[in-house]
Amino acid sequence: MSADTETLVLDGAVHPAANTRLFGHRAAEEFLTRSYKSGKGHHAVLIEGPEGIGKATLAFRFANHVLAHPDPQTAPESLADPDQSAPFFRQIVAGASHNLLHITRPFDAKTGKFKTAITVDEVRRAGKFFSQTSGTQSWRIVIVDPADDMNRSAANAILKMLEEPPKRSMFLVISHVPGRLLPTIRSRCLPLVLRPLDEPDLRAALLHLGLAIPSHAEARLVSAARGSVSQAIKLVNYGGLDILDAFENILRGGGAEQRKAMHKIADAVSARGSDILYDFFVSLVGERVTDNAKLAAQAGDLDRAFRLSNLHASLAERMTVSDAYNLDRKQTVLGLLTDLAAAL
């Protein structure tokens, strides 16, 4: 990807624009291609599902399909792997396409980090994009990735475009948690729900990436990844398996060993340059509390389920406040783990 379109890509992953393979979502591909061929496809599709299962890759694959077959009536009903020799494919990969705009969190060269949100300035690029290409007969496609990252002003700006879409325009809106989006945005999009990859598809995707999985940890990794390729990459390439081990030690025991495990996690996720591992930890905590709340509800222990649901909300708020005010991350994590161990 070019410097001006730099996008966060995990070590060991392939940028969705350049990824020529997708695993486990054949039905979603067929739905998109058949809808497009019918000429009745929706101008905005909300591609939703857990993070790391191929939503952005699907969006880029479908965009390549539309640009390769601008006339829906003559387009095939099946979606083939992108033609890497096609000029529009190379332009998309380079971030230089006149027909596709990828809106995501921008990279801040001053701080050397990605901004925490998609701002209204990023969304306004779509307005300029449409005006510059309005004289062509090609489709103009905007991929919002993910829409969950938009701040309020950006969300309102994209809503106006969804309400009055330009001619021959298409919006592919990606969301990990669609419940966080404005209801008005959801109402103007056709929802397309993707599920986590099953075990064979996840293994095929990891094999395609050449991810080196320790043989002794393979079964455990596949289980812990929960059908997410990005989660598997974090487990292997970012020390996620070590964090998972320490986390299990915290929940199992007490005393000195528990405190040691707490400090191990806090040191790891608060170190410089550990933002991805920190996000992995936050996700791990949320999943574990949610899982326990569901188990309690299924067992009929509604009081415990209610307490765990409140705990999930309070922990999420604490992490948000910590990030917003740049509080000491290690102390925040230690406090969170202490409360979590007591509750679970």
Q: What is the pLDDT of residue 4?
A: 39
Global pTM? 0.92
- Least confident interval from 91-105, 180-194, 225-239, 310-324: 310-324
Q: What percent of the chain has pLDDT over 90?
A: 84
| Rounded mean pLDDT, 40-50 | 96
> Which pLDDT score, from 0 to 100, does residue 280 have?
95
| pLDDT averaged over every residue in the chain | 93
Buried/exposed code over 160-198 (b: 16+ C-beta within 10 A; e: otherwise): ebbeebbebbbbbbbbbebeebeeebbebbeebebebbe
What's the rounded Cα separation, in Å, for the pair 186 and 188? 5
pLDDT band at 213 (very low <50, low <70, confident <90, very high): confident
Name the burial class of residue 85, with classes exposed (0-12), middle (13-18) and buried (19+) by CB atoms within 10 angstroms of its CB: exposed
d(CA 80, CA 132): 29
Q: Which pLDDT does position 134 carry in this prediction? A: 52
Strand pairing of 140-144 and 113-114?
unpaired
Q: Is 62:47 a contact under the CB 8 Å cutoff? A: no
DSSP state of 80: P
pLDDT of residue 39: 92
Contact yes or no for 243/281 (Cβ under 8 A): yes
- Smallest CA-to-CA distance from 24 within 174, 197, 194 is with 197
First to last CA, the chain: 44
250-255: average pLDDT? 88
Q: What is the pLDDT of residue 145?
A: 96
Residue 147 burial (CB count, 10 A): 28
Q: Indicate the pLDDT class of residue 3, thresholds 50, 70 and 90.
A: very low
Average pLDDT over residues 222-235: 96
Residue 272 reports pLDDT greater than 60: yes
Q: Provide the pLDDT for residue 143.
A: 98
What pLDDT digit, counting tens, does each position of 130-175 carry?
988 655 578 999 999 999 999 999 999 999 999 999 999 999 999 9
CA dihedral 283, 102, 49, 310 (to 10 degrees): 40
**Rg for the chain (alpha carbons), in Å?**
21
Rounded to an integer, the average pLDDT of 222-241 is: 96
Average pLDDT, integer, range 45-65: 98
Mean pLDDT, residues 66-75 taken together: 95
Please state the rounded mean pLDDT for residues 77-97: 94
Number of Cβ within a 10 Å radius of residue 70 = 14
What share of the chain has pLDDT > 70, as a percent? 97
Checking if the pLDDT of 1 tops 50, the result is: no
User: C-alpha distances in angstroms, 249 versus 107, 165, 236, 329?
Assistant: 37, 53, 19, 21
For residue 133, the model assigns a pLDDT of: 60
| pLDDT at residue 5 greater than cutoff 50 | no
Q: Give 170's strand partners.
A: 141
Average pLDDT over residues 49-61: 98
Backbone angles phi, psi at 29, to 5 degrees: -60, -45
